[in-house]
Structure 1
Amino acid sequence: MAARSEPGGDARLVWERPEPPARPALSPLSRERIVRAAIELADAEGLESVSVRKVAAALDAGPMRLYGYLSTKDELLDLMVDAVYGEITPPEQAGEDWRATLRALAHRTRQAAHRHEWFADLFGGRPHMGPNALAYLEVALAALYRAPGFDHIDTAMQAAGAVNAYVIGAVRSEIAEARAERATGLDERQWQDTSAPYMSRMLASGRYPTLVEVVRHATHPDADATFDAGLGYVLDGIATHLTR
């Protein structure tokens, strides 16, 4: 039997013709897989490395496929932030002790930010609207609003805002220190040693007597204790305000 072929095609019989190169099956996608890949990329290389193209490459998919699940990079960042809020908010309802609830949320937020440093660059500002972020806010406000003394929702919101502002500032400071250590190769003690001669001259000038007391007598607790102490001052201030 003669071989049949289309014009310009291969005239050999099917048994003699090589098969075309195998095309890989399309990798399955979901919004959860996309967000998880983006978070892994940000954890490893920083937030600036995250793009739809790079996330698609990590998933062995074309960038256009990802646009079926999200429209912009900003939406991807929103999804990433909300996924981290899902790590923070405990599944159980808030307890009766508003201080314990806010303290737990603050520490869980700090721990999440140290797992995902890029998160510290994105929280704060306008409230996040994802379901996990809303659940986080609900736990904090519910713990306050049903506690004695928080007789108006404005009081609960202002108290929650004060705690949140402290957590954002403290965590960003810690992350900035960690980044500086990596950038310079000097830990805090080594950095202090390099600046010690200058600081000695400045303190000897007599213009900074309180800073001299800090150098001579401050205990300089570790980061965990420092964070918890500062958080305690904020919570104590809220409690004092309620008793007025």
Structure 2
Amino acid sequence: MKENPSSSPAPLIWTHPSPRRRRSPLERDDIVQAAVAVADEGGAQALTMTAVAKRLGPYTPMALYRYVLSKDGLTDLMLDSVTAEIPVPDEPGDDWRADLHAVAVETWAMVKRHLWYAQLMPTRPPLGPHLMRRTEFLLQVLVRQGLAVGDAMTYAALLDRHLLGSAQQEAEELAMRRRHGLHSPQQLSEAVTAARDLAAEGGRHPLLTEWMTAPSGAGMDEQFELSLAFLLDGIATHLPGGDSGATP
């Protein structure tokens, strides 16, 4: 069955309020939460209208379109729904760097709970109410530092590219482990051992072999914090007035 009932482009879900309840107890939010659960468990590739209908119970995929218009509409609703998990202050504080860092870290935590977000976010316009509120806050923080709104949007986009890129990598690594049956630390360790033996052949990669013998270094969260600090340092050097605010 096709995921959209029509080949013509569907209107944006935000221009269509949720329909009034009829005889069915189903509501739009029920569909969104079921879709989030499907994607949380199986990733973006598992998200189909059939899978969502099956999770809801006695409903056909076609019955869902009355509430979400299309699969794109459902995706928009899902992205905005989980974005609501990110705390966004009403107003920026006195420390621009702390404001950006807090939103970035909270976004990173949300995306790790919903790794499909990083896979689906680039496919849809960020027009949901929670998505726009988050973007508006980032712009307010940067414009208050003297940036033009165009430059502020550029820097906000850089932050999100960093977030989504990091999360996409983690999502793909998780998908790779699932494909190859690497579900436990022991299974992963055995795979690394096999790769180490390959790297050690002929002695051409001594440093790589040394690392693979006893892997060390920053984990994903530490790498995220480190690269986020680098990015904020870079933004600081482009603020009017030379207020670097850079980490020592």
> Which amino acid is 2:180 matched to?
T
Deviation at 1:167, TM superposition (A): 1.2
Quick one: structure 1 residues 40 and 217, their matched pair in 2 at CA, closer, same or farther if it must change by over 3 Å? closer
Q: Which structure 2 residue ranges, 5 or more long, are not aligned?
A: 1-21
Cα distance between partner residues in 1 of 2:27 and 2:141: 35
Deviation at 1:145, TM superposition (A): 1.0
Q: Radius of gyration: which is bigger?
A: 1
Deviation at 1:233, TM superposition (A): 0.5
Contact persistence 1:89–1:132 (CA under 8 A): no
Identity %: 35
Q: State the match for 1:49 in structure 2.
A: 46
Among residues 154, 167, 177, which one is paired with 1:158 in the alignment? 154
> Which amino acid is 2:99 matched to?
T
Q: State the match for 2:133 in structure 1.
A: 135
- Between 65-74 and 179-188, report the one with greater CA deviation: 179-188
Among residues 23, 48, 64, which one is paired with 1:66 in the alignment? 64
Contact persistence 2:193–2:213 (CA under 8 A): no
> Which amino acid is 2:25 matched to?
P
Quick one: structure 1 residues 57 and 171, their matched pair in 2 at CA, closer, same or farther if it must change by over 3 Å? closer
- For the pair 1:180 / 2:188, whether they are aligned, the reply is no
Deviation at 1:89, TM superposition (A): 4.2
Q: How many residues align?
A: 215
Cα distance between partner residues in 1 of 2:110 and 2:154: 24
After superposition, give the CA deviation of every residue in 1:46-105 in whole Å (9 maximum; x if it has no partner): 333333333233333344432221211111111111111111243543323222222222
> Which amino acid is 1:201 matched to?
E
Q: Over the residues paired in the alignment, what is the CA RMSD in angstroms?
A: 2.9
Quick one: structure 1 residues 216 and 183, their matched pair in 2 at CA, closer, same or farther if it must change by over 3 Å? closer
Q: State the match for 1:75 in structure 2.
A: 73
Quick one: structure 1 residues 91 and 236, their matched pair in 2 at CA, closer, same or farther if it must change by over 3 Å? closer
Deviation at 1:126, TM superposition (A): 5.7
